[in-house]
Every structure is written in structure tokens, then in C-alpha cells.
């Protein structure tokens, strides 16, 4: 049986990753580093990412039930459930909550499909397996049906969706599930023997591994690659979006003093300081803002590998500090904004604006799927037309 899939989204990749419902449960927005890593693996064509249609519908239904359960249980809600309620973005008064919850979850199915598309996922159509095949499976009490052959219909649909992926010809499959009663057993988890045999009948050469969470996908994909004898290229160029997110995190550390997203090196390490024309006294100088021009981003590796790389980008840097009044009135080429013209007898409190080229150094984590460190190592003021005019006049 040949399944009609949507247009190709990386099926040249040797490994297929298929998600079960429990891998997405309560991760309603599919956000965070693990999901971004999954997207990068798709982008680099190391994997093709599949989600069965039955999983999409089951997760969407689960979110509706979860939100409704929170509303119903509001009278006896405890602190942990209040936190979940707030994370859903729901109103905190019962009157507003009751009218808002259905509106909030009404479009989740559409939002989930859009997010999966952003991640590069192909949604596997509901398998066209015959009723007789499913009935026979139930009567024979074969997994993923339960021991009575009654419960497990949706799991059977997920399983046949996976079998449809097998027919596409990938060399390996990574099945992401923590369903230890119907699909897998043991530590590390492995497919139940009967299911493994069934896959072997469908494709004797295919390598199949399991992961219990999306966070494990990167390491398990490398394991499948090794089993297949593929070259494991860990460090690849991150996407521009991933780099811009890292730069934004770095700027938050510099400007707002926010905690870095990882324990690595973040912030700024300017060996020559701000290489700007300035009238500010050196101590103290605070950074008010760093506004990047995203379209000017340029990225180069520091070697043959992208384990460490450099990003340069144009920006406007606003500095806060104090300047002598005499310097302020004598300077006509530095862009300034007076915060307090009479701070004391000698100083003015000012902001300086600098059009600059910034250089950041970034490193990837050991899986090569996420930025682990990002720091600014150089900030050089860009020349302006009037600088050249002044030089010519001189």
C-alpha cells in the first residue's frame, strides 16, 4: 500500500523520526531547545520528521480536555495547577475563565499544524489499513492492542502510520515514545519483540531505535547514523534564526543582566573596550540598548568545523554615562541625548548613540544542534560621511 504524502520535506534524509502522542503531551507550543534541535536536524537533512495524523488529533483533543479540566477543578486547584493555568495564558477569575477557555483552545488544531510545519514535520495521513486487518489484530490480541484485544485502537493507527513510513525507504527509523505498555519495554527502551519482528518483515535491513523524549533525539540519531555506517557530522552551520536568537540572548545578558540561557560564556569580553568616539568618562558606562540590523548578519566558521564560529552584524549601541560640560559643548559629531544637563557643576548625564559593527563569538553544544556560548568580542564604530569630509578638509 502506497501512502500519498504531502510534498517532499526532506525525505532524502536517511533516518525517519516518528513521534507518538506522549512525546508531545503537555508541550502545547512545541517550543524550547529540544524542538529547535529537531528542526535543525530536519534542516540539515539528517532526518525526515513525521507525525501521524492520529497523533495530531489526539494531542489537540488532549489540550482541550486539559484546559477544561483546569476550569472544572478551579475550586480545589493547588499551586502546581495554578502555575499550569497561568502558563496557558488563561484569565485568573472564574467568570472570565469560563468564557475564555473555549475561545482559547478552539484554534489549537490549526496552531499545532502550523507549528509542526515550522519544525519541518510531515503529517502522515490516517493509514488506509483495512478493517479486517485491524479486526484480526484485535482478535489475536496483538500489540499495540491490550491483552484483551479491546483497548489500543489509536495506538494501532500510530503503528500502521509508522509502517507506512517504512515503505518510503529510509535506512533507519527513530520512534519517539514512552508507551512502555504497548510499544516498548526495558532500559534503554526497545520495541516489543513481536513489533520488532513485524518491522523486520516489512524491511529486513532497516535499523530501528527508540527514544522516550524529544530531548533524546539528537543523541539517538547519531547512534542510528553509526549503525548505518554514515558519516556523523556533528557540527553544522546553525540557521540564521537560531543565531539571531543566541545574539538576542547575549544582548539581554549585556544590557539587562538576565541569566544566560546555558552555563557557558555569555555577555561581552571586549579586549579593547568600546572602540567608539566618545566623550563619556570611562567609569561608569552602562549599556542602554543594542539594536541589531538582522539583515546585515554575516557568519563564518573559525575552522573547518562549525563547532566555533564568528557572527558580525551592524547595530546601534546606546551608552549611558557622564560627560564634562565643556566636552559636551565642544563635540558636534557624536550623537547625544541629554538626560540631565546639570548633574553637578562639572558633569552632564547623557546617552551616546553609536552606529557600530559588532563581532560575536559563538560555540555549539556537544550535539552540534544548539548554541551553547555567545559573547561579544569586538565593537567598532562605523565611519560616517562627515568623517571623510573632515579628513579631506584637513
Which of 200, 227, 254 is at the close of a domain? 227
4 within a domain of the structure (yes/no): no
Q: Are residues 385 and 318 in the same domain?
A: yes
153 within a domain of the structure (yes/no): yes
- CA 156 and chain centroid, separation: 30
Which residue range(s) make up the domain with 32? Answer: 15-227
Q: Are residues 149 and 254 in the same domain?
A: no
Model confidence over 334-387: pLDDT tens digits?
899 999 999 888 999 999 999 999 999 999 988 777 899 999 999 999 975 444
Model confidence over 179-197: pLDDT tens digits?
888 888 877 778 888 888 8
Residue 221: pLDDT over 50: yes
167 within a domain of the structure (yes/no): yes
Mean pLDDT of 73-100: 59
pLDDT class for 18, splitting at 50, 70, 90? Answer: very high
3 within a domain of the structure (yes/no): no
Looking at the DSSP bridge assignments, the partners of residue 349 are 322, 340
Are 40 and 72 spatial neighbours (Cβ–Cβ below 8 Å)? no
Model confidence over 294-331: pLDDT tens digits?
999 999 988 767 889 999 999 999 999 999 998 888 87
- CA 183 and chain centroid, separation: 28
Q: Are residues 88 and 189 in the same domain?
A: yes
**What does the alpha-carbon distance between residue 204 and residue 199 come to, in Å, rounded to a whole number?**
8
Q: Are residues 313 and 219 in the same domain?
A: no
C-alpha cell at 127: 493509514
Q: Which residue, 50, 5, 44, is CA-closest to 175?
A: 50
- Angle, CA of 320, 324 and 330, to the nearest 5°: 105
Q: What 3-state DSSP class applies to 333?
A: coil
Question: In degrees rounded to 5, what are phi and psi of residue 318?
Answer: -110, 120
> Residue 204: its pLDDT value, please?
78
Mean pLDDT of 91-106: 62
- CA 123 and chain centroid, separation: 19
The number of distinct structural domains making up the chain is: 2
Q: Are residues 223 and 274 in the same domain?
A: no
Q: Are residues 216 and 272 in the same domain?
A: no
Radius of gyration of the chain (CA): 28
User: How many Å is the maximal CA-CA distance in the chain?
Assistant: 95
Are 349 and 339 spatial neighbours (Cβ–Cβ below 8 Å)? yes
Pairing of strands 184-185, 190-191: antiparallel
The more confidently predicted of residues 78 and 257 is 257
CA dihedral of 102, 107, 108, 114, whole degrees rounded to 10: -170
Q: Are residues 161 and 265 in the same domain?
A: no
Which of 227, 252, 268 is at the close of a domain? 227
Residue 146: pLDDT over 80: no
Q: Are residues 151 and 297 in the same domain?
A: no
Q: Are residues 96 and 159 in the same domain?
A: yes
Are 196 and 190 spatial neighbours (Cβ–Cβ below 8 Å)? yes
Q: Are residues 137 and 216 in the same domain?
A: yes
Q: Are residues 134 and 250 in the same domain?
A: no
Are 167 and 180 spatial neighbours (Cβ–Cβ below 8 Å)? no
Are 379 and 356 spatial neighbours (Cβ–Cβ below 8 Å)? yes
Q: Are residues 286 and 371 in the same domain?
A: yes
> Residue 7: its pLDDT value, please?
47
CATH code of 367's domain: 3.10.450
**What does the alpha-carbon distance between residue 262 and residue 212 come to, in Å, rounded to a whole number?**
23
Amino acid at each position: 500500500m502506497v501512502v500519498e504524502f504531502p510534498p517532499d520535506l526532506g525525505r532524502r534524509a536517511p533516518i525517519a523520526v516518528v513521534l507518538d502522542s506522549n512525546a508531545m503531551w503537555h508541550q502545547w507550543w512545541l517550543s524550547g531547545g529540544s524542538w529547535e534541535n529537531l528542526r535543525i536536524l530536519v534542516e540539515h537533512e539528517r532526518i525526515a520528521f513525521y507525525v501521524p495524523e492520529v497523533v495530531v488529533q489526539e494531542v489537540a483533543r488532549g489540550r482541550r480536555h486539559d484546559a477544561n479540566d483546569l476550569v472544572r477543578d478551579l475550586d480545589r486547584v493547588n499551586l502546581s495547577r495554578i502555575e499550569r493555568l497561568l502558563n496557558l495564558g488563561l484569565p485568573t477569575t472564574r467568570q472570565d475563565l469560563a468564557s475564555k477557555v473555549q475561545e482559547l483552545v478552539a484554534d489549537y488544531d490549526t496552531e499545532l499544524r502550523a507549528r509542526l510545519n515550522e519544525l519541518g514535520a510531515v503529517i502522515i495521513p490516517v493509514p488506509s489499513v483495512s478493517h479486517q486487518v485491524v479486526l484480526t489484530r484485535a482478535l489475536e490480541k496483538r500489540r499495540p492492542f491490550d491483552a484483551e484485544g479491546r483497548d489500543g485502537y489509536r495506538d494501532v493507527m500510530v503503528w500502521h502510520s509508522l509502517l507506512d513510513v517504512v515503505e518510503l525507504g529510509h535506512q533507519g527509523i527513530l520512534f519517539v515514545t514512552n508507551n512502555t505498555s504497548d510499544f516498548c519495554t526495558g532500559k534503554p527502551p526497545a520495541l516489543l519483540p513481536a513489533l520488532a519482528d513485524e518491522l523486520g518483515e516489512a524491511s529486513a535491513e532497516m535499523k530501528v531505535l527508540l527514544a522516550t523524549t524529544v530531548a533524546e533525539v539528537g543523541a539517538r540519531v547519531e547512534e542510528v547514523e553509526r549503525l548505518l555506517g554514515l558519516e556523523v557530522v556533528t557540527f553544522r552551520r546553525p540557521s540564521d534564526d537560531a543565531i539571531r536568537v543566541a545574539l538576542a540572548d547575549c544582548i539581554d545578558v549585556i544590557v539587562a543582566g538576565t541569566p544566560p540561557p546555558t552555563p557557558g560564556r555569555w555577555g561581552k569580553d571586549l579586549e579593547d573596550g568600546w572602540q567608539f568616539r566618545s566623550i563619556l568618562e570611562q567609569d561608569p558606562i552602562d549599556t542602554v540598548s543594542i539594536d541589531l540590523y538582522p539583515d546585515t548578519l554575516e557568519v563564518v566558521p573559525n575552522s573547518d568545523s562549525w563547532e566555533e564560529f564568528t557572527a558580525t552584524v551592524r547595530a546601534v549601541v546606546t551608552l549611558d554615562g557622564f560627560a564634562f560640560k565643556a566636552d559636551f559643548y565642544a563635540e558636534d559629531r557624536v550623537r547625544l541625548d541629554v538626560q540631565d544637563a546639570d548633574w553637578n557643576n562639572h558633569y552632564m548625564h547623557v546617552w551616546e548613540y553609536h552606529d557600530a559593527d559588532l563581532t560575536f563569538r559563538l560555540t555549539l553544544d556537544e550535539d552540534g544542534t544548539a548554541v551553547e556560548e555567545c559573547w561579544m568580542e569586538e565593537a567598532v564604530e562605523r565611519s560616517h560621511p562627515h568623517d571623510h569630509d573632515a579628513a579631506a578638509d584637513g
